[in-house]
Each structure stands twice: as structure tokens, then as C-alpha cells.
Structure 1
Amino acid sequence: MSGRDVVLGRVRRALADVPGGEGPGGPPVVRDYRRVHGSRTTAETVDLLAGNLADYRAIVHRSDAEGLPALIGRLLAERGARTVVVPPGLERSWTAAADVRLVEDRASSTPHELDAVDSVVTGCALALAETGTIVLDAGPDQGRRRITLIPDHHLCVVRVPDQVVGSVPEALPRLSPGRPLTWISGPSATSDIELDRVEGVHGPRTLEVILLAGGAGAG
């Protein structure tokens, strides 16, 4: 028996109780799985997010609104960043303390130009605590997908608690399937070659996440 026969056999068994005339537009699928796993306070959910982000080798910082510009300025200086690409809707005060040249997110920017940029600073759409995942949806404070895939360093601000959810089922209703969603769990990495972890293959080598306390959601 071939692998193809095995797979097709499993498909047939899974569809055995489906009426012959039923198509993709038939009865809706019952999605009664759990949306919340366990009982956590807001603070515990944020701590879980921070821990799982760190497990994925993201570098996690915490700040309030008053200290955010200085923190971003310090982190960029520690990276030696001189050029930083920013989305059009990013709050300008966030980068006000950074001694860098800001590069606008333009449709005309080429991959070569973006590759020469040192860092990118963005907001996010959501952050998932149980998976340590940041979700971008190309909103005004996130910009085009490519600006978070080409520069080697991504500094992402998550507004806490408004943009933090516990699980994937909690996240999906808050995200639009019509938007270009990017789900990020740690810096870009692969272990495909001899099981050696290599970072920065198809995205930023370094992901830093700032948990911004008391920040309102971007909507």
C-alpha cells in the first residue's frame, strides 16, 4: 500500500458519515472548542505572554507610556542602529528620543533599500499569550508586511492589556481574514539543515518586544 492509498483511505473514513448530496455550503461546522484554557488574571496572562516570547528567543521589555521613548532610543542605540523604517501611523513620540534617521514605509522602496535599513519599529494587532505569538495585520502602526520581514532587527510594541489575548480561539474573532495577517513567534529561524538552528533566514534575526502598560488598543 502506497502513502497515497493511506492518506486517501483516511479521508474516506473521515467522510463516511457525510450525506452524499452535502457540499461545502452544507450545515455549518460546530466550533464548540474551548476559547479559554484555565483561569488566569490579566497580569498572569501578560506574564505568560512574556515567558513564551522569551522561550522563542524574543527579547522582552516592559515600559509605561512615559518611559517608552527613552527605552526605544536606548534599545536602538545598543543595536547601533542609524536608520529605522517606521509605518505611517506609528506614534512619532515613540522614536522622538532615538538618534536615528527615520525611513518612511513607501510603496516604492525596494528590497535592496529595506535590507540596508538597520531596524524597524512597529505596533501590532494582537499578541497571544499561550503561544508567544505577535500578530501583525498591516494596520497604520505596522505598515507593509515587507518592512517587518527584510530588516534584521524588529522592535515591536504591544499595548497591555488591550492587545493581549490568551489563546488562538480568542484571537481569531478580533482579526479580519481580509487583511494580510503575519503571525510571528520569535525571530526568524529554521532548523532544516542538519537540525542546526539558524536565525535570520527569512525575516529578522532579532525580535524585541516591548509590553506597554496601560496602552489603549490601536483599534
Structure 2
Amino acid sequence: MNGRETVLDAIRGALSGVPGSESPDATPLSHGRRVDHAGPDVVGMFADRAAEYRATVVRVPPADVAEAVGRALARTGARSLVVPPGFPEGLVPEGPWSRLADVPPLSIGQLDEADAVITTVATAIAVTGTVTLDHGPGQGRRVLTLLPDQHICVVRADQIAPDVPEALRLLDPYRPLTLVSGPSATSDIELDRVEGVHGPRTLDIVVVVDA
């Protein structure tokens, strides 16, 4: 039995007790309470899970966000920072790095030479340590977060959903969505982990919490 036959056999087995007259559209949705897998400390779980993916996560009050971003840029020695349209001006720190605005759109070459990009997020997911972009204001085009070597995300605590279903409920399915769980990495070649092949090799997450 090949792989295809194995999968189809499993599907047939799962459907063996379903009446032939039943259809998916006729099956009522369950409105019972879902199990909450995140627990009471949603922010703490998000920080822990994101760190497991080798992201650097810091939690700061609103007044310290720009300083935290500056520390992240200084740590990697960034010399240029891409700031997408709509990103809050007060969160962009002053420093030795040049600022690149994506208006008019930067070329692929300019983005490839940029050291870092900073964005807000649409939402984040605690149980998976994932940040989600819908590329609205403050997040920019998808390519902005794929070419620079460092991606800095600013996440408000109230944007962190406990689990995937809740996060998806908050997102617009008609927008282009990018889900990021840690720095870009692959283990395709001899199972050796290589970071930065398909996107930023460094992911910094600044979680904004109440002081």
C-alpha cells in the first residue's frame, strides 16, 4: 500500500459510521466552550514560546519601547533600518543607523542591503510563539520583512491571542497574512540548521505591557 492509499484508507475508516445522507453543510457547529491551552499568563507563554524559536523577546512599558528597539539594533550593529508607512514615529529610536522609508517603494537591491526592518503586527499567538502580519499600516509590504537580516516586531500585550483559533478569529482572511515563528531557518541539507536562508536570521520581539 502506497502513501496515497494509506491516507484514503484512513479517511474511509473515519467516515465509515457516517450516514450517507449526511453532508458537511447540514452538520451544526459546536458552540461549546473551547479548551484554553494558554492558561492565565498569555503574555508569559507567548514570550517563552517565541524564545524557544530563538527569537529575542523583551517586555517593556510603553515609554521604553523606542529604547528597547535601539538596544536591539545596537546588539546586531545595524547601520540601516527600514520603517514602513504607518509605523508610529515615537517608537523609532535615534541612533547611528540610517532610516529608509518605503515611499516610494524601495528596490529589491536596497532592501537586500538593509540591515533591519521594524514593524507592528496584526496579532500574535501565545501557544505557538507566533507573530502574524496582515501587511496593514505599520507592517508594510511582505518583501520588507523577508530581505533585511533583522526583523524587529513591536507587539502590544492586548494583541496576543491565547491560541490559533482565537487569533484567526481576529484576522481578516481576505488580507495577505504572514505568520512568523522565530527567525528564518531550514534543516534541508543533512539536517544542519541554517538561519537566514528564507528571511531574517534575527527576530527581536518587543512586547509592550502596562507599567
Same fold, TM-score > 0.5, yes or no:
yes
Q: Using the alignment, how far apart are the partners of 2:35 and 2:139 within structure 1?
A: 27
8 Å contact from structure 1 (residues 70, 98) kept in 2: no
1:112 maps to 2:93: no
Report the counterpart of residue 167 of structure 2 in structure 1. 171
The two structures, once aligned, show a CA RMSD in angstroms of: 2.3
Within 5 Å, which residues of 2 pair with 1:1-219? 1-18=1-18, 20=20, 25-27=25-27, 29-30=29-30, 34-37=34-37, 39-40=39-40, 44-106=41-103, 108-160=105-157, 162-214=158-210
8 Å contact from structure 1 (residues 35, 169) kept in 2: no
Q: Using the alignment, how far apart are the partners of 1:50 and 1:37 within structure 2?
A: 15
AA aligned to 1:113 is: Q
Shift of 1:23: 5.9
1:93-145, Cα deviation, whole Å (9 max, x unpaired) = 11142332221224743322211111001111111111111111112011111
8 Å contact from structure 1 (residues 53, 133) kept in 2: yes
Shift of 1:13: 2.8
Q: Using the alignment, how far apart are the partners of 1:24 and 1:105 within structure 2?
A: 46
Shift of 1:181: 1.1
Q: Using the alignment, how far apart are the partners of 1:171 and 1:35 within structure 2?
A: 14
Task: Tell me the SS of whatever aligns to 2:13.
Answer: helix
Unaligned ranges ≥5, structure 2: none
Give the percent of matched residue pairs that are identical in Structure 1 and Structure 2: 48
Indicate the larger mover: 25-34 or 110-119. 25-34
Q: Using the alignment, how far apart are the partners of 2:88 and 2:105 within structure 1?
A: 22
Q: Using the alignment, how far apart are the partners of 2:182 and 2:196 within structure 1?
A: 11
Q: Using the alignment, how far apart are the partners of 1:186 and 1:32 within structure 2?
A: 33
Task: Tell me the SS of whatever aligns to 1:67.
Answer: helix
Shift of 1:203: 0.8
Q: Using the alignment, how far apart are the partners of 1:100 and 1:64 within structure 2?
A: 24
AA aligned to 2:210 is: G
Change in Cα spacing, 1:26 to 1:213, as seen in structure 2 (3 Å) is same
Shift of 1:201: 1.1
Q: Using the alignment, how far apart are the partners of 1:94 and 1:118 within structure 2?
A: 18
8 Å contact from structure 1 (residues 58, 208) kept in 2: yes
Paired positions, count? 211
Task: Tell me the SS of whatever aligns to 1:180.
Answer: coil
TM-score, normalising length from structure 2?
0.88
Task: Tell me the SS of whatever aligns to 2:62.
Answer: coil
8 Å contact from structure 1 (residues 60, 210) kept in 2: yes
Unaligned ranges ≥5, structure 1: none
